[in-house]
Amino acid sequence: MNMISPAISSATTSHEDIPTFVAAMAAAVTPVSIVTTDGPAGRYGVTVSAVSSVSAEPPMVLACINLRSPALDAIKKNGVFCINMLSEEQCDVANSFAGRPGKFNPYDFDVATWEHLSTGAPALCNAAANFDCTLERLDNASTHSILLGIVSSAKHTNNKPLAYTARSYQALDALNIQ
């Protein structure tokens, strides 16, 4: 890891604008992912919706994790993480790692089958895609940390991805536009 940056200064948005911002963000369509880690600091995972590719050369991705998440400290100490983009059949896994387990325990790795790619971070079997990373950089921004990772290994399936919009999980279908 190269750098941990200080927190970015707080925004100038008024508190009255926050509900409008939150409502507008609910219209965004995002992939549902679980960011996992394993190593000397332990095995952790957390459901996130803010992930993105950063570059192809070198392969780099980012994920945003709440500063209060115990997974964040473990990722810092372990220096590795895996972004697991869930398939549409994995809503229960997403709920478990969001702390809303329903029929499973919260943050329970026994809710699914896992494998290891190259870093040792848990990679979810049958996910739409997995991006196994070494932590390159971490920047704090308000309530979250932005993790930048160099992708050591990537894997994908033909499973349809799970999306999140309008405060609910969604399955994606092609539009068949000619």
Q: For the segment 12-60, what is each residue's pLDDT rounded down to a tens digit?
A: 556 678 898 889 988 888 999 999 999 999 999 999 999 999 999 999 9
Question: 75-123: per-residue pLDDT in tens?
Answer: 999 999 999 999 999 999 999 999 987 878 899 999 999 999 999 999 9
pTM reported for the whole predicted model: 0.89
In three-state secondary structure terms, 178 is coil
Q: Are strands 114-116 and 122-124 parallel, antiparallel or unpaired?
A: antiparallel
Pairwise CA distance, residues 173 & 166, whole Å: 17
Q: Are 139 and 6 in contact (CB under 8 A)?
A: no
Q: What separation in angstroms does the CA of 75 have from each of 3, 22, 100, 113, 122?
A: 14, 27, 22, 21, 12
What letter does residue 36 receive in the DSSP assignment? E
